[in-house]
Amino acid sequence: MILSELWRHYEADKRIQGFSPNTLKAYALQLKMLVTDLGDIDISEITLNLLKEYLAKQSNRLKPSSLGHRIRFVRSLFRFAYEETYLPNNPSLKLREPKMDKRIPKFLMEEDVIHLKISCQTLRERALLEFLYSTGCRIGEVEKLNIEDLNWENCSAIVNGKGSKQREVYFTTECKVWLKKYLASRGLG
């Protein structure tokens, strides 16, 4: 079985397991890079040393976090091949992720937030900025939000996060004002 054929089986399995389209898209890109480097070879030809050489080539141009993603994908792909008995052993078993530096999260200064608010040109932009800033939601979470998910009395919303997990987030009164203005402009408020 060649790598691209393994990918078809792997991708179908992950889709059945409910992996998000974005995750599968990222995995497809990882596979494309693996195939570009190694060729669409038979999976039985892939050894731990071959995988280490592939990852070593990547390591000088990737951040440790990106290299970690690549290694996790390779391990997942070959664990699947082994578990589905496409391979008698797992060549990626001994691959280890690089050490990660402790990263301090970046945050916006109050002045930056003011500049962002001033730069908003539409009610939609301002409402979106206020909501994102006050709740800390991801864009994908806001994208899935419906009016019914908003609770105006306690300034909260139920959002669907990664892995279809729901959580309640809270927004400011200022955000509520901008959301109501935006919805009114669309005839929804």
Please tell me the predicted confidence (pLDDT) of residue 147: 92
Q: Give the tens place of pLDDT for each residue, 58-84.
A: 888 888 888 888 999 999 999 999 999
Secondary structure letter of residue 123 according to DSSP: H
Task: Please count the residues of the chain.
Answer: 189
Q: Give the tens place of pLDDT for each residue, 84-114.
A: 999 999 999 998 887 877 777 777 888 988 9
What type of residue is 39?
G
- For residue 7, the Cα-to-chain-centroid distance in whole angstroms is 20
Please tell me the predicted confidence (pLDDT) of residue 189: 65
What domains sit in the chain, N to C, each tagged with a CATH number?
3-83 (1.10.150), 110-185 (1.10.443.10)
Please tell me the predicted confidence (pLDDT) of residue 175: 95
Closest CA relative to residue 154, chosen from 132, 174, 173: 173
Query: Which pTM value belongs to this model?
Result: 0.62
Cα separation, 27 vs 38, in Å, equals 16
Structure tokens at 156: 């909260």
Q: Does 164 score more than 70 pLDDT?
A: yes
Please tell me the predicted confidence (pLDDT) of residue 77: 95
Determine how many CB atoms are found less than 10 A away from the CB of residue 174.
14
> Residue 26: phi, psi to the nearest 5?
-65, -40
What is the average per-residue pLDDT within 158-162? Answer: 87
